[in-house]
Each structure stands twice: as C-alpha cells, then as structure tokens.
Amino acid sequence: MNEIRRETLSEETFYQAVGGEQTFRLLVHRFYQGVAQDELLRPMYPEEDLGPAEERFALFLMQYWGGPRTYSEQRGHPRLRMRHAPFAVDRAAHDAWLGHMRTALDSLELPAEAERQLWDYLTYAAASMINTAG
C-alpha cells in the first residue's frame, strides 16, 4: 500500500515574494530620504529624527503585505485616517508623498506585476489620507 505524504502547502505572501523585511525597509528608508528634504512634508513629522516614523511605516507595510504582525502588536489597529487627522493633508502633500514613494519604489526594481500591485495600493492609500481641500 502506498503511503500518503501529508505536506502543508502554503501560498507565498506578497511580503515573501518581493524579498520580505529587507525590501520593505529599503523602500521606506529611501522614501524618508526624500521626505527629509521636502519643505512641504517634513513639518508633518514632528519628531526631530525621522527614525521612529520610518520604523512605524516599515512595520505597517510589512504587516499589510503578509509579514510579521509587529505593527499591531506594538500599536494596535492601524487606524490610518485617525493617525493622520492632526495633519493637514491636501492634494499638494498627496502629490509630494507619492513623488517620493515613486522614486523609492522605482529604486527597488521589483518585477512589473509586484511593482504594479504595490503602487496601486500606495496611490489608493495616499488618496484616502487627503483631509483638507487645497
């Protein structure tokens, strides 16, 4: 009689497919390099050092795309709109944010389909943060 082997089949997450923690940390680091020099966006980050914001954003993206749940363990539910409510996010801030994110994303040279999926999410998320006309 043939023995039946049981294997656990697990689908690879987007997080794993694009390189995991290293990829997301690099994306966010390169994004914040742009933000640090941006006269419009930099004032929205009240901490003198962008390091804590960079860490939070990296953890959020990693969790969102199927990585460790560290963000929620440390900060609870993401509540993105609520967390951004204290800041006036208008179309100009949206465009600047996406500009830095586009540069960071392009630098990763991800496969086209992965790049498209990530960019689609980022453009949706950026649009949903607008809370001020202008």
pLDDT in tens, 25-54: 999 999 999 999 999 999 988 888 899 999
- Domain boundaries of the chain, sorted by first residue: 18-128
* Mean pLDDT, rounded, of the chain: 87
pLDDT in tens, 80-119: 655 565 677 899 999 999 999 999 999 999 999 999 999 9
The residue type of 109 is E
pTM over 0.95: no
Class of domain 18-128: mainly alpha
| 59, two tokens | 């953890």
pLDDT in tens, 61-91: 999 999 999 988 887 766 665 556 567 789 9
**How far apart, in whole angstroms, are the C-alpha atoms of residue 16 and residue 2?**
34
Asked if 101 and 122 touch (Cβ cutoff 8 Å), the reply is yes
